[in-house]
Structure 1
């Protein structure tokens, strides 16, 4: 498999999951400004959306969108227990978290980071994100991970969003459960390996 990614982008989530699963893959970095890979490939021909991540499977087919990719990877290695089996309510709670992270956090960050977003609207976006992170804080009370006792694909996705929150200098003061969770996640070997591979540490 090949993972097409950009350092620190949302593709960090499937990158972490690949390493948590112990799967063999090749990391291919993408210049999203020029839409070209480090191998001088036209990225539009790989992913017509022009975004990361994209996962090229061994048969040459392409899977896009982080939410779909992390589910696919977790199902390849069910023994790693990153996603509960089909039919389990825990699985659907995990998918609910993935949906929340994608729609309420990721999408809002994208608007915040765009250079043409008016400054007064950026203030609204920042306030909205800080409110959503307070919800995450309440959800993590007395929990080791989002789903309780096991690290899941939802934790990998949330980790990227907290890194973005720090980069945007959002006010996360007093969110002690989130801070402890972030520290635990940062110490996981797969997370450390992904960060190192992307040049983020």
Structure 2
């Protein structure tokens, strides 16, 4: 398999899960401004949508969108620890991935587009805080070690990656104690440390 990624982008979640399942894979960095890969390929020829991640499963067979890629990779875990094979547990993973993708990811993405006016920026921060408050409260009310159960999974990786962007947009996470505790657990995993080093995000 080959993962097309941009350092620190949402493709980092797929990179983490690839490390978790311990399969052979290649990485190819994408410049999202020029839409070319590090090998000089026109990225639109790989993913016409133009953004990452894209996962080449076999030559010519490309899967896009984290809500598809992350469960696909997680199901390759031989212990089935990363995602339940069926039933409510699997549905809950998909529920979290859908929420993170359609709500939280979008709320952060506003800051990476055209420059925001001060008023628009405050509204964007307020929306971000509304979503994070819900997530923090949900974690606090759960007896689970991670978002879905007591096993790390794709939703945890995705939440970790998205909330990393708070440091880029100067957004304070300190009031979200439960999110920070979960981030600390996720960030300590070897799969995360390796992925972040490979992408040049940490030394």
TM-score where L is the length of structure 1: 0.94
Q: Whole-Å Cα distance in 1 between the matches of residues 180 and 107 of structure 2?
A: 21
Show the counterpart of 1:157: 158
Gap regions ≥5 residues in structure 1: none
User: Residues 33-48 of structure 1 correspond to what in structure 2 (within 5 A)?
Assistant: 33-48=33-48
In structure 2, the residue matched to 1:180 is: 181
Q: Distance in 1 between matches of 2:129 and 2:144?
A: 20
User: Structure 2: how far apart are the matches of 1:76 and 1:195?
Assistant: 22
The residue matched to 1:48 in structure 2 has which SS?
A: coil
Runs of 4+ in structure 1 over 4 Å off: none
How many residue pairs match? The answer is 200
Establish whether residue 11 from structure 1 lines up as the match of residue 14 from structure 2: no
Aligned mates of 1:165, 1:144 — CA distance in 2: 23
* Structure 1 residues 10-55: Cα deviation after superposition (integer angstroms, max 9, x where no partner): 1001111111111110010001111110001111111111110101
Distance, in Å, in 1 between the alignment partners of 2:78 and 2:45 is 32
**Distance (whole Å) between structure 2 residues aligned to residue 187 and residue 116 of structure 1:** 34
TM-score between both structures, scaled by the size of structure 2: 0.93
CA RMSD of aligned residues (A): 1.4
C-alpha distance in 1, partners of 2:171/2:94? 26
Deviation at 1:170, TM superposition (A): 1.8
Which structure 2 residue ranges, 5 or more long, are not aligned?
Answer: none
Structure 1 position 97, deviation (Å)? 0.5
> Is 1:68 matched up with 2:52?
no
Instruction: Note the 1:1-201 alignment, pairs <5 A.
Output: 1-86=1-86, 88-141=87-140, 142-201=143-202
User: Is the 8 Å Cα contact of residues 71 and 153 (structure 1) preserved in structure 2?
Assistant: yes
